[in-house]
Chains A and B, each alone.
Chain A
Amino acid sequence: MSILKTFDNIFDPKTVAIVGASEEKGTVGFGLASNLIKGSKKRNIYFVNPFDKEIFGEQAYDKVTDIKGKIDLVVIAVPAKIVLQIVKDCISKKVGGVIIVSSGFGELGEDGKKKENEIVKLLRTAKIPLIGPNCLGVLNSRVDFNASFAPISPLKGNIAFLSQSGALLNSLMDTMNAQGLGFSKLVSYGNEADLDLSDFLLYLKDDKDTKVICLYIEGIKDGHKFMEIAKEVTLKKPILVIKSGRSSAGQKAAATHTGSIAGDYQVYETAFKQSGVVLVETLEDLFDSAKALVMQPRCTNGIGIVTNGGGAGVLTVDYCDIEGVVLPEINEEDIKKIDKRGVLNSIPVKRNPLDLIGDALPDRYCAGINAFLAQEKIQGLIVIETTQIMTEPLENAKIIIEMKKKYPKKPIVCCFLGGDLVVEATKLLEKNDIPNYSELRRAVRAIKNLIKNEHE
């Protein structure tokens, strides 16, 4: 079976069976069942639980093999010791794919690993793909498919998230929902006993719904396979990664001096860099960059800053220097050529960063942004707004949205500094796919990750 067909069964099955489905609130079986029935009505959902006659008013089957007709996907959420028997049933039923949510396998050590290997061997012989064990499940928001026991459903969007941790994924969904950002696909891949991280990456490469891929990684099973596939994927779409396990790096006794310097984290850092994967340090960076990447086009290194506050502008210049963001020089002549009406005549210094001065009204923002984006050497723009007595945040936001339409290929990120005074404006910006950040450095980091690296 081709990898695409395999993944179609997993991400958009026509029929799904949940083994261990339950009506008892707070259980994994309840979470899975209720998330699945909330999804697309076109999908047939079967409940398997020998202890129940009915679940949510539907017939409950004793075994997978009792269900009539073809089953595309089976989600298994029963205690580890009976998983093997369920897997055998799945094989005789010739199901399309299996997700084992249950824990109690490889993550526990040698004994668990043995059980896991036995299951993988059987499924591979039967050519049935497996996700997990020890995972939260998968989601495909476009087709309203949620085969996970997550407490909430994500919004539809273009960010894919692959996570080794299920718990983290739950919190991320909540955070993203609060920010109005949506996901295309979510996978908690657990122990990756069969399908591994790289397999999912390869699938997402050609997934039309996915613009950005985010990863949370603790470790990678096959380093060379990952690098090879990641190199291929990052030519098409960006991959952002957050990697845990930094602090223990290099503390183990190593065979060589080189070994003691090259800790695990450094090795991962190197592998990511060589394959075009962007490593971020914090979850905040991950969201901020994903937001920018999903809303804005990418560009080459050459960024302009337009601000109505001198201090904010200088701070931003400092952050750009730290992050390696290049600020091309712009002079008075460059600006005069574009600002024919002379709207900017009243500002004393015309350069990058362009300080429109605190009393800037929307017309000055309009002229300044236009004068910068018209320059060939400016590839992207950071627009900063501090709230002065005469500032009009909402009008400025509208201007930025218009300017974005005029220069669709050049990304704009905003930092409207403030709270209540700017909230309406920043909502409008983001509704129109212009990301806003509440802090200057966050805006700089976000635009930095829009800049293509030499690998691309």
Chain B
Amino acid sequence: MEILSFEETKKLLAKYKIPHCETEIFNFSDKALVFAKKIGFPVVLKIHSRTIFHKSEIGGVKANIQNEEEFMKAWNQINENTKGRNIEGILVQEMLSGKEIAMGMKKDEQFGPVLMFGLGGIFIEVLKDVSFRIAPIDKAEAIKMIKEIKGYKILEGYRTGEDVNVSKIADILVNLSKMSMKEEYIIGMDLNPVIVNKDYAKLADFRIII
């Protein structure tokens, strides 16, 4: 069991038309900085490793980096924190704003790929407010799956008035279903968070397990 490499993950997401934040992998800070400037601050730095499953716990993630100075400081710190570990490189990612949701897949021995949907953060960790479907699913089923969670009102903009694009979330779920059915070597996926707003739904953190 290991995590799919960054390049292969990106290729796979492109193949199944699954949108994600602007992101590239780097081993040297100069090129990474050029990319950060190109996509514009603030950015996020995080390691990608085939073997490290909990990257923030070892200090492998720095978010909300506002400028060049903060960037260099974060870069060096991540390198320091992960010294001696087997990492593929450091990802530079754009910061997206919107609501956080989570998606996932686990392959069940009897039923094959099982898809999961929920709100991100404490909703999934503590309250386990999630819904499941056995793949394959179509868009109508994906929408039912989204509406099934107790926290759906939050996505509809309860008290804030800001709703999100449910259709785009459903598209991702349908494409994950296709990918899970076709790419049989994938045994699990954690896409958490996926950032959603009125206009789009994009993966901000993804991990495909093979």
Contact = CB atoms under 8 A, between A and B. Distances in A.
Interface in B156-210: 187-190, 192, 207, 209
Contacts of A220: 110
Interface residues of B, number: 24
A244 interface: no
Interface string B100-142: 0000111010111010100000001000101011100000010
Contacts of B58: none
B209 A223 contact: no
Contacts, number: 71
A300 B132 CA distance: 25
Contacts of A255: 1, 106, 187-188, 209
B110 A258 contact: no
B190 A222 contact: no
Categorize the interface residue count of chain A.
Answer: 20 to 34
Given A222-B110, A259-B188, A271 B134 contact: yes
Nearest to B141: A274
A261 B114 contact: no
A261 B125 CA distance: 9
A227 interface: yes
B111 A266 contact: no
A221 interface: yes
Contacts of B188: 255-256, 258-259
B10 to A, nearest CB: 19
A224 interface: yes
Contact of A262 (B110, B132, B192): B132
A257 interface: yes
Interface of B: 1, 104-106, 108, 110-112, 114, 116, 124, 128, 130, 132-134, 141, 187-190, 192, 207, 209
12 contacts: A227-B111, A256-B188, A258-B188, A261-B104, A261-B116, A261-B128, A262-B114, A267-B110, A267-B114, A270-B134, A271-B111, A274-B141
Interface of A: 219-224, 227, 254-259, 261-262, 264, 266-267, 269-271, 274
Q: Which 9 A-B pairs have the closest CB atoms?
A: A258-B104, A223-B111, A256-B188, A223-B110, A259-B106, A270-B132, A255-B188, A258-B116, A258-B106
